Amino acid sequence: MKSVAWVRGKVLPVMKNGLLQRLAIWCVMGSLHAGEEISKKEVFLNRLSGHPAAVLILCPGQNESSNETIRQKEWIRYAEGHHLALAGYHFESPDELLNTGTGYFVAERGSGKVLSDALSDRGAGTLPIYLYGFSGGAHFAMSFAAWAPERIGGFCAYSFGWSSPPPEALNCSALIVCGEHDGQRYGSTLTYFQEGRRQGKPWVWVSLRQKDHSTSKELDEFVRKYFACLLRHEGPPILVDNYTKKVVKGDPKDIRFSVLPSADLLEEWRRIHHP
């Protein structure tokens, strides 16, 4: 089966091999203008047959592409099993902009509209969105969720160096994650989690044992289970102590506690989380 690359409004045929032959891979490349903060704009979409229930966006590290990630068999099988469209992107901005809180990390500065318009053009403009981002991808996932909170079914932000307080309108479930050996990012990531919990957001904290600033296959698997729980609307949610790992009853806004969407995730969370 052919996929297509949609380049500035023109549809060009592109052959894909192997497993991807049964997927529709679309690449939308946005027009560039002098002086823009975003120097590269590409959105990738694997649209499975039938009618997807939601879109899962895999958000890559700083100035990187998730075009290869959305081709990985683990994510393709997961998307097939849960009736998801898989999306990714390749945005680039100068490091000096990204490090000062501008550029594509900030959805309202153009990257959010590029992604949202691309999804709409491929018939996914009204579907719930789930985002999973590491490092620079975590910055974008948080920012996009804050920019379009009404679209978000859930997100995971894994390891980031700074953030803005989450808006009150962002009420979805979220996984906030950092490796315990990830330097100052650990404090920044934990602070964002605590700011959300003070607002009563149903968020989960995960501290990865002996993990530095790198991706995690173990976390990938937990994220898939977490999103599956959200997609199936399992429940009721339970409150757990981040330090003792025990189920508790207490203040639903207590920053010491996480909110698991279902008791079915309890043992998996206890296994992956290291206080």
Confirm whether pTM is higher than 0.85: yes
User: Is residue 268 situated within a structural domain?
Assistant: yes
Residues in the chain: 275
Task: In whole angstroms, give the CA distance from residue 103 to residue 82.
Answer: 33
- Neighbour tally for 241: CB within 10 Å: 15
Which residue range forms the structural domain that includes residue 222? 22-272
**What percent of the chain is modeled with pLDDT above 70?**
86
Residue 35: its pLDDT value, please? 54
User: Is residue 12 situated within a structural domain?
Assistant: no
User: Is residue 127 situated within a structural domain?
Assistant: yes
Residue 27: its pLDDT value, please? 65
| pLDDT band at residue 51 using 50, 70 and 90 as cut-offs | confident
Domain count of the fold of the chain: 1
User: Is residue 200 situated within a structural domain?
Assistant: yes
Q: Which tens digits make up the pLDDT trace of 164-209?
A: 899 999 999 999 999 999 999 999 999 999 999 999 999 999 999 9
Rounded to the nearest 10°, the torsion over CA 162, 178, 43, 109 is: -10
Residue 235: its pLDDT value, please? 84
User: Is residue 4 situated within a structural domain?
Assistant: no
Task: In whole angstroms, give the CA distance from residue 130 to residue 132.
Answer: 7
User: Is residue 10 situated within a structural domain?
Assistant: no
Strands lying side by side in the sheet with 54-59: 10-15, 2-7, 24-29, 40-47, 84-92, 54-59, 129-134, 152-158, 173-179, 203-208
User: Is residue 218 situated within a structural domain?
Assistant: yes
CATH number reported for the structural domain that contains residue 165 in this entry: 3.40.50.1820
| pLDDT band at residue 123 using 50, 70 and 90 as cut-offs | confident
Task: In whole angstroms, give the CA distance from residue 50 to residue 53.
Answer: 10
User: Is residue 181 situated within a structural domain?
Assistant: yes
